[in-house]
Every structure is written in C-alpha cells, then in structure tokens.
Amino acid sequence: MEYRIEHDSMGEMRVPADKYWGAQTQRSYQNFRIGTEKMPKEVITAFAWLKKAAALANFRLGKLDEEKFNAINAAADEILAGKLDDNFPLVVWQTGSGTQSNMNVNEVIANRGNEIAGKKLLHPNDDVNKSQSSNDTFPTAMHIAAVCEIREQLIPSMELMIETFKRLEKENAGIIKSGRTHLQDATPIAFSQEISGWRNMLEVSMEQVEAAIPGISRLALGGTAVGTGLNAPQGFAEEAAKAVSELTGYEFVTAENKFHSLTSKDELVFMHGALKALAADLMKIANDVRWLASGPRLGLGEISIPANEPGSSIMPGKVNPTQCEAMTMAAVQVIANDTAVAFAASQGNFELNVFMPVLIYNFLQSVRLLADGMRSFNDNCLVGLKANREVMEHNLHNSLMLVTALNPYIGYENAAKTAKLAYEENISLREACVKLGFLSAEKFDEVFHPEEMV
C-alpha cells in the first residue's frame, strides 16, 4: 500500500495515499481498534448536510469566500452521493464527543475540496470546521440523522402497515369470532374490530413519534465548545439552522439554550421512548398473528399467512411464521436499545455529554430495524393474511363465554352454572340452560344471538 504524509497539531502521520482523510482520522483509526461497529452512514450523511449548511451560513455572513464555499459544497455533495463512502473508517467506540468523526468529515471535505479546486485552498479546521466545534456539530448531526431517517424510513413504513390493516378491515367486515383474554375464551368480537385494534396501535404510535419530532429538530450548532458560542459570528446559529432546513427539506430551528443542547440528550431519549412503544405494539401484533395462524391442525388456525420458506430441516412440509419471528426479534433489540440510549443520555457531565456515538448508534439501529422490519412484515406476511371463516365460526359457537349474553335474563350466577354444566357434560349452552330450568328452549333461541354481542 502506498502512503502520503499528513500532519496535525501533534505531528506527522502516514495516511493511505488513496484515501482523503488526514492525520486526525488516521490517529483515531489506529488507536481505537474496538469492535466492528462503524459510525453509521446516516451520521456521515448528516455531517455532509451540516458542513454544507455551515459553509452557506458562513458565506452569507461574510466569513467564508465564495471559492471556499463552492469547494466545501462540491466535496460534501460527493459524500451525499455516496462517492466517498470508503473514506469514513472510524468505529463507534471512540471519543465520546464524536470529535474524531467530525474531523474525519472535515479532513475528507478539505482534501477532496482542494483536489476539486486544483490547489491548497481548504483547511479542515479553519475552513470546513469554521464557526463550529465537535461539541456542537456531533449533537447536531445526531438530530439531523434522526429526523431524516424517521421522516424518510420509519413513518412511510408505519403508513404502509396502516393502509394494509385498513384494507384487511374492509375485507373481513361481518366476520364474527370468539374473543380471547388471558389466553382464555372471551365474548365475541368482529375480526375487523380485532384488526382495527392493530391499526390504531400504529396510528397512536405515529402520533407519539410526530409529537417527539419538534424536540429533535432543535440544533446545537452555534454553541461551539461549551455552549457560549465562542468563535461563531453573531447570527450563525440561526443562519445555519435555516440552511439545514433549506438543504434537507425538513424544518429545523436553532436550540434556544445551547448549554442544554450540548450536555442533554433528553430529546433523543423522548423520541426513542416512542420507538420503544412502537416496538412493544409490533411485538404484540406479530405475536397475535402467529398465535391466530398456529397449526395447521393443532393450533388455533383462525387465519392463514403466506408460506414463505420451508420451516424445518427434518420435518417435511413444516412452515413457520418467520416474518412474525423476525419482527419480534427486531422489537426485542429496539427495547434493549432503549436502555443504552437512556443510560448514555444520563452521562451529561458538566458542559458536554460524552456518550454520543453509542447513543446515536443504538438510536439509528432502532429506526432502521423498525422501518425495515415493518416493511418486511407487511409485504411478506400481512398482505397475504386470510381469515379462516369456518374455524372462526366453529370456535365462536363452541365458546362457553357466549353465556354472557344470558346475564340480563338469568343473572350472573345462573349463567356461570350454565357454562359450568355445559363444560362438564360437553353439551351446548342451550341444552345446559334448559336442563337447569333457567330458560325454555324457545326463550333461549329468542334471546341468544352471538352476532349481536359485538
């Protein structure tokens, strides 16, 4: 491998000749050989937006000339286009402020910008990092990445599942089945009502996610090292937030209190709480689906779902609810990630949180797992969900909890006696009620209508 010599304030470093990063990135790359978890691409993308916005703000404020602005802008655009992906090698397990990833982006933009300009034009600190500090850029990149991924990945997946459930509600209108509570027989429910519960879980989760977006749309940029805004010109924070909004197409504002935005990560914790709530609902929905589809002969068998893959290496013909299992495993990981996010956010010592890389790594993994998991669950399972009407009707009319309909006519205790006798003697509720003398056969038929119990 060929190398070139780069230098920083600590001296010279050998850097691979075919890479655009500089000495500070190389030091981090060599000093933190920990794990395989790289800084998420979403964070690098957010940094590219951030550097474009900062350059635009500095240019508008007269702090950066047009030639330097254009060079920064061009190099950042190449990052956004994915042309420089192999220039960001740093792991999550680095400095807790994310300083080295900020400098990684600064160095790549500076070196590639200089190459584009055909001369030594940009300095990574003096120009690309102008009016900034890693302490305000990394939390800003976290918020930009979070908003973009939630808007572009998570919410569309939620909308997709909601629309599928709406269709399933219409298709299954009029089907009455036995409800279940505590895994025991309960009073009847329309299958469309059961589906509506799943749909509304996602709609409520959507409301909770939307409610958390304003918090993560507040940017720390302009706070610089400790929140005082040292070395950032007057108006930079507002101009930079405006530029981020223009470039990304999403509304961002400058954080009112930069001391809070540097040291506290409560807005990300709040949003991840909404993600955890969504994961909990998805766990519940996926478990309901696989219980209802259990069988094919020895389970509930009230619905069928697509048979996607062979389910066993030893049992021929076995098919498993694999999409349900994938969705529930993703939900487990998201719920676990919530602990890491919350604990990392609690480490805001004095003027700066120094657990930011692990926080955003887990946060973005949660968004990615939920978005991808919902899309897979929807496309490979829910869209092909079918009601087994015969089984539902059989189970409905064999449920002892239909006796609840008799409460107004014979009372709770007599209804309980009727259900007990029907169970013990394996006879119908009608036979038991008549045998106990609580109602005549004609009166029973007059008042007993399961389809009206929903």
- For 360, other C-beta atoms within 10 Å of its C-beta total 28
Exposure string over 246-255, b if 16+ CB within 10 A, otherwise e? ebbebebebb
Annotation marks residue 182 as catalytic: yes
Please, what's the largest Cα pairwise distance for the chain?
Answer: 101
Instruction: Point out the catalytic residue in the list 97, 101, 294, 312.
Output: 312
Q: Measure the CA–CA gap between 66 and 62, rounded to whole angstroms.
A: 9
Which of these, 30, 40, 134, lies nearest to 88 by C-alpha position?
A: 40
- Tell me how far the alpha carbon of residue 76 is from its chain's centroid: 27
Question: Is the distance from CB of 114 to CB of 6 less than 8 angstroms?
Answer: no
Annotation marks residue 312 as catalytic: yes
SS3 string of the chain?
CCEEEEEECCEEEEEECCCCCCHHHHHHHHHCCCCCCECCHHHHHHHHHHHHHHHHHHHHCCCCCHHHHHHHHHHHHHHHCCCCHHHCCCECCCCCCCHHHHHHHHHHHHHHHHHHHCCCCCCHHHHHCCCCCHHHHHHHHHHHHHHHHHHHHHHHHHHHHHHHHHHHHHHCCCCEEEEEECCEEEEEEEHHHHHHHHHHHHHHHHHHHHHHHHHHCEECCCCCCCCCCCCCCCCHHHHHHHHHHHHHCCCCEECCCHHHHHHCCHHHHHHHHHHHHHHHHHHHHHHHHHHHCCCCCCCCCCEECCCCCCCCCCCCCCCCCHHHHHHHHHHHHHHHHHHHHHHHHCCCCCCCCCCHHHHHHHHHHHHHHHHHHHHHHHHHCHHHCEECHHHHHHHHHCCHHHHHHHHHHHCHHHHHHHHHHHHHHCCCHHHHHHHCCCCCHHHHHHHCCHHHHC
Instruction: Point out the catalytic residue in the list 157, 178, 182, 272.
Output: 182
Question: Is the distance from CB of 263 to CB of 348 less than 8 angstroms?
Answer: yes
Which positions are annotated as active-site residues? 182, 312
